[in-house]
Amino acid sequence: TPWDAASALKTYVYNTVTYDTNYMERSSDLAVLQTKRGVCVDFANLYIGLARSLNIPTRHVVGRTFGSQCTLWDICGAYCSNVRHCWGHAWAESYYGGNWHQVDPTWNVMENPKIYLGKQGAEHIHAVAYTRCEDPYQQDCNWFYDAETLRNGHIDVTLSTDGGYDYYYYCPFDLDGDGSCDNLDSDRDNDGVPNESDRCVCQWGHSCNSGCPDTCPPGTPSPSCQGGGNWINDNTPTISWSHVSDEGCGVGGYEYAIDQTTSWTDIGYKTSFDTPPLSSGTHTVNIRAYDRAGNKGGYGSCFVSIDTTSPSNPMAVTSNPPKDQWTTQTSVTFSWSGASDTYSGVKGYYYKIDKNPSTSVGTSDSFTSGTSIAQTLGHGQWYLHVRTVDNAGNLATETKHYGPVKIDITPPAPAVGETKINDGAEYTNNPSVVVHFVAIDLDSGFKRYYFSNDGVGWTLIEEFLPPIVGVKEVWKSWTLPPGDGTKCVFIDLEDALGNRWWPNPPSTALKDLYDCITLDTTPPPTPTLLSPADKSQILQHQITLSWQSVSDPSPGKLSHYIVEVDISTSFNTPDKKTYTTQSTSITIEIPKTGTWYWRVRAVDQAGNAGPWSAVASFRVIGNPDTDSRSDLAIWRPSNGYWYILTSSTEYNRDKRFMVQWGSEALGDIPSIGHFDSDRMEDLVIWRPSNGYWYILLSSKGYDALYALRIQWGSGSLGDIPLIGRVDGDNKGDIIIWRPSNGYWYILKSTVSYDRTQAIRIQWGTSEDIPLTGDVDGDGISDLIVWRPSNGYWYILKSTANYDRTQALRIQWGTSGDKPLIS
């Protein structure tokens, strides 16, 4: 389409030609294409040539931009007033779709005439070539058409592409009728002399056209002074007016005189100016116009009243209620007097009321023309800040401050989270409690406080004279009403002005004006002991005691249990241990072997302790250990007790193993062996009177009810009891050595000590001392006798199947020695 072609050509020119002011206005479009450099005219000319080559009717367009801050330029000659010209520009218009369309290859845009606004000071685009000048922005402007911008011979406003001429657009004016358009005519008044008179064409036919002098003065301005007759505080006021007309050569400019008409100052062709600095007071400003022929018109005047002097602030300020004393009155009236102003007079006062003693007041604050204000104020210390303003808008040099007016309508504040009964306890069993609170009053002061059990009836507790300004912490005793249940204590705080919280404190304060506690005077019930059962025998020194839980009667709540353990039912010995737990069981360490007594009582949250449970006992006998280290064992014939210091307790006497088994009166002979599989020592007694072995098993907790009883041997035959491991199963075998015949009679564990499967081996004589031990290291006992008469050891080895011919014979010891096996 033609639009696509125009857009492509426009972009081609934009990308091909470099804008360069050293190459301005080439002589032809071909020259622009060759140099590829130029300015806006060259961009337009190259585009026009290319567009016409494609039979797109295209014309050259020139315009200028204008702005109030640009250069004053006489571009219209006699046909328009001087205007401020920013810069000129050239572009093109192509015809397609029934209309002319703007194409600007310099900026690479189409249909966008406003692109020039805001560039290099431009504020407005005036009419362009081939367009009439009907622009309201600049008065008296009859636009010019500069044929110089139309060179190259390619300009055509018709729809043909081979040249042409349009008189209507090209030459709209020829005022002297000489056939030469005014924009190309240097002798516009047709007097044959190009001179200044050609610049001052008035209406055609006036004397100016024949070269006659212009004696017509311009019109009289009607100036307006800044402020419009009111006082202002600007000593360089702005004076403005509208342009006047001149029937001759046109207005050339304006001049002014202030407070006189003899000395005038030229200000040029403008319709406003700022005066030089003026003194305070009222001044007359006179304005008159002059034309280009030098004629001066009459002057118009306006008046300006200037006051740049600050007024004074009020000398005296009072208030009701007065300042510097506390009051509950919230309706406050401030009054003042003594302000003054030399010139424009006092207009009023800007003011502000706040809690800052030094606030500065300005024109954004409240204003009054009176000398008093009344306001309802809240709690706090209030200050009035006032500043005088005069009729010119001048403020006093500083703000007048007054205050404070002290208003106290709030009781002393209870500190957050500090109101507590018994330091915040949840329960108590005593109606006599201690109430704690912290009162804060930074105003009139904390004077009295009251307590109440219901928030209705109040008791004055204490009064402070003088009232306390600041923070006061209080602890005070108070008695709760009788009866178990939730009890609340309410506090009321009063200041020096009588402000109190009750009967209707706000929710924000209410939470810190009381505290509640549960009064509980009923103790919990007696617990029932569960384990260990009374009179239990305990191996370990660590024991777990347990009892049945109890519930505290309402409104109580159980807190914990107290457990006492002692070696006496009096529970007053130095060995007594006291434990506290919230559980119904506790694991404790019993420090020493023996009988211990224990009891439990429940305690509720209020501190009520219930009755003690029944007393139960347990006996800690200790526990021979299973490590590889030897323990030290004593059997005491006088009482039949076994006392064993175990290696696992580092032989601690207090934690000795202690159990009664055997009797000296019955002639019992003690021994230690392993008859079960727990690697712990079993306690063995052989009673010669009946030949019975009584074995207290560790695996049965050394409980006599579960003891083994095996008859083997006879005291009447002089048998000597021994324990060994003959069958190799790591359990003790029962052995009798009979001195009368030197025989070993062995009941083996592997056959459950069956007498019918007993082993009989002869080894030794009546003078020998029998022993068992593992001499050959195979884990099976060897049979040994030591003979005092010669000190010899005779050893039947298990590894030799107790063969007498392979016995060992070792001399070691002498008569009177005691043989031992290590």
Least confident of 80-84, 221-225, 276-280: 80-84
Residue 70 lies in a domain: yes
- Region 207-213: what's the mean pLDDT? 45
pLDDT of residue 118: 57
Give per-residue pLDDT as tens, 384-423: 999 999 999 999 999 999 999 999 999 999 999 999 999 9
Q: How far is CA 241 from the centre of its chain?
A: 62
Q: Which residue has the higher pLDDT, 487 or 294?
A: 487
- Of 646, 654, 690, nearest to 672 by C-alpha is 646
Specify whether 549 is located in the same domain as 464. no
Query: Which of the listed residues 588, 620, 652 is the one where a domain comes to its end?
Result: 620
**What is residue 83's predicted lDDT score, i.e. its pLDDT?**
56
562/654: higher pLDDT: 562
Q: Measured between alpha carbons, how far is residue 450 from residues 462, 505, 591, 656 in Å? A: 7, 14, 56, 66
Q: How confident is the model at residue 196 (pLDDT cuts 50, 70, 90)?
A: low
Of 24-28, 57-61, 540-544, the range with the highest mean pLDDT is 540-544
Cα–Cα distance list, 389 to 149, 281, 342, 685 (Å): 62, 17, 12, 123
Question: Omega into 321 within 30° of 0, i.e. cis?
Answer: yes
19, 39 Cβ separation under 8 angstroms: yes
Q: What is the 3-state secondary structure (H, E, C) of 436-459?
A: EEEEEEEEEEEEEEEEECCCCCCE
**Tens digit of each residue's pLDDT (9 = 90 or more) over 290-324:** 988 788 999 999 999 999 999 999 999 999 999 99
Element (H, E) at 67: strand 58-73
The DSSP 8-state label assigned to residue 340 in this structure reads B
Band (126; pLDDT cuts 50, 70, 90): very low
Query: Longest Cα pair distance anywhere in the chain, in angstroms?
Result: 187
Residue closest to 265 by CA, chosen among 273, 274, 256, 278: 256
Residues 514 and 542 in one domain: no
Pairwise CA distance, residues 313 & 374, whole Å: 19
pLDDT-derived band of residue 445, with 50, 70 and 90 as boundaries? very high
pLDDT confidence tier of residue 56, bands split at 50, 70 and 90: confident
For the stretch 263-287, what's the b/e string if a residue is b when 16 or more beta carbons lie within 10 angstroms of its beta carbon? ebeebebeeebebeebebeebebbb
Q: Which of 375, 402, 395 is nearest to 315 (CA)?
A: 402
Same domain? For 493 and 541 the reply is no
Same domain, 178 and 322: no
In a domain, 251, yes or no: no
CATH number, domain containing residue 431: 2.60.40.650
Q: What is the mean pLDDT of residues 51-58?
A: 82
Give the Å distances, CA to CA, from 675 to 591, 704, 707. Answer: 29, 15, 11
What span, in angstroms and rounded, lies between the C-alpha atoms of 774 and 733?
A: 14
pLDDT band at 85 (very low <50, low <70, confident <90, very high): low
Cα 801 to Cα 805: distance, rounded to the nearest angstrom: 11
Residue 465: partners with Cβ closer than 8 Å, 6 or more residues away:
447
> Residue 189: what are its φ and ψ, rounded to 5°?
-90, 0
pTM (2 d.p.): 0.50
Residue 355 within any structural domain of the chain: yes
pLDDT above 80 (res 155): no
Distance (Å) of CA 677 to CA 673, 680, 730, 781: 11, 8, 8, 18
- First-to-last alpha carbon distance for the chain, in angstroms, is 125
Please tell me the predicted confidence (pLDDT) of residue 169: 31
At residue 180, does pLDDT exceed 60?
no
Is position 765 within any domain? Answer: no
Query: Does an H or E element contain 565, and which?
Result: strand 558-566
- Which of 620, 655, 687 is the C-terminal boundary of a domain? 620
pLDDT at 194: 67
Is the model more confident about 21 or about 566? 566
Residues 585 and 554 in one domain: yes
- Greatest mean pLDDT among 222-236, 238-252, 719-733: 222-236
CATH code assigned at 170: 3.10.620
In a domain, 136, yes or no: yes
pLDDT band at 804 (very low <50, low <70, confident <90, very high): very high
Q: Is the pLDDT at 206 greater than 70, yes or no?
A: no
392 and 430 fall within a common domain: no
| 80/55 same-domain check | yes
Same domain, 536 and 496: no
In this predicted structure, the answer to whether residue 254 has a pLDDT above a threshold of 50 is yes
- Domain of residue 493 covers 417-519
How much is the average pLDDT of 687-706? 91
Is residue 531 within 8 A of residue 587, CB to CB? The reply is no
- Lowest pLDDT segment from 119-128, 481-490, 656-665, 706-715: 119-128
> How does residue 69 score in pLDDT terms, banded at 50, 70 and 90?
low
Residue 121 has pLDDT above 70, yes or no: no
pLDDT surpasses 80 at 758: yes
Report the mean per-residue pLDDT for the chain. Answer: 85
Q: Are the beta carbons of 511 and 594 closer than 8 angstroms?
A: no
> Any idea what DSSP says for residue 208?
G
Q: Is the residue at 482 inside a domain?
A: yes
* The pLDDT value given to residue 165: 29
Residue 180 lies inside a defined structural domain of this protein: yes
Residue 155, CA distances (Å) to 48, 113, 129, 162, 169 in order: 9, 20, 11, 9, 12
Q: Does 63 have pLDDT greater than 50?
A: yes
**Which of the two residues, 643 and 502, has the higher pLDDT score?**
502
Contact residues for 165 (Cβ-Cβ < 8 A; gap 6+): none
Q: Which two tokens stand for residue 192?
A: 């044959």
| 510 SS3 class | helix
**Which helix (H) or strand (E) segment is 659 a member of?**
strand 657-660
**Environment class of residue 210 by beta-carbon count within 10 Å: exposed (0-12), middle (13-18) or buried (19+)?**
exposed
Compute the distance between CA of residue 671 and CA of residue 684 in angstroms, rounded to an integer: 5
pLDDT at position 812 over 70? yes
* Spacing of C-alpha 679 from chain mean position: 65
Q: Which one has a higher pLDDT value, 635 or 655?
A: 635
Residue 692: alpha-carbon gap to chain centroid: 86
Q: Domains in the chain: how many in total?
A: 4
Alpha-carbon span 152 to 241, nearest angstrom: 47
Bridge partners, residue 287, by sequence: 256, 300
Dist. CA 584–CA 548, nearest whole Å: 7
User: The domain that contains 402 carries what CATH number?
Assistant: 2.60.40.10
pLDDT of residue 9: 96
Pairing relationship of beta strands 514-519 and 427-428 according to DSSP bridges: parallel
Location of structure tokens 């000071």? 121
Please determine, for residue 675, whether its predicted confidence score (pLDDT) is greater than 80. yes
Averaged pLDDT for residues 699-721: 92
Say yes or no: 472 and 547 in one domain: no
d(CA 52, CA 9): 11
What is the rounded distance in angstroms from the CA atom of residue 316 to the CA atom of residue 318? 7
Domain boundary among 407, 442, 472: 407
Domain co-membership, 336 together with 468:
no
**pLDDT, average across residues 28-51:** 85
Confidence of residue 245 (pLDDT cuts 50, 70, 90): confident
| Tokens of residue 141, six digits | 């402007």
Residue 77 shares a structural domain with residue 172: yes
Model confidence at 184: pLDDT above 60: no
Q: Which of 184, 201, 76, 61 is nearest to 138 (CA)?
A: 76
Same domain, 7 and 97: yes
In the prediction, which pLDDT does 54 show?
84
Q: Which residue has better confidence, 499 or 154? A: 499
Q: What is the pLDDT of residue 434?
A: 98
pLDDT in tens, 598-623: 999 999 999 999 999 999 999 887 76
Closest to 660 in 3D by CA, of 649, 644, 680: 644
Q: Identify which of 555, 415, 420 has the alpha carbon closest to the alpha carbon of residue 478.
A: 420
Residue 490, C-beta contacts closer than 8 angstroms, at least 6 positions apart: 451, 452, 453, 454, 455, 502, 513, 514
Q: What distance in Å separates the CA atoms of residue 446 and residue 501, rounded to the nearest whole number?
A: 13
pLDDT band at 746 (very low <50, low <70, confident <90, very high): very high
- Can you tell me the distance from the alpha carbon of 60 to that of 338, in angstroms, rounded to the nearest whole number? 76
Say how far apart CA 655 and CA 648 lie, in whole Å: 10
More confident residue, 765 or 538: 765
The answer as to whether 169 is a domain residue is: yes
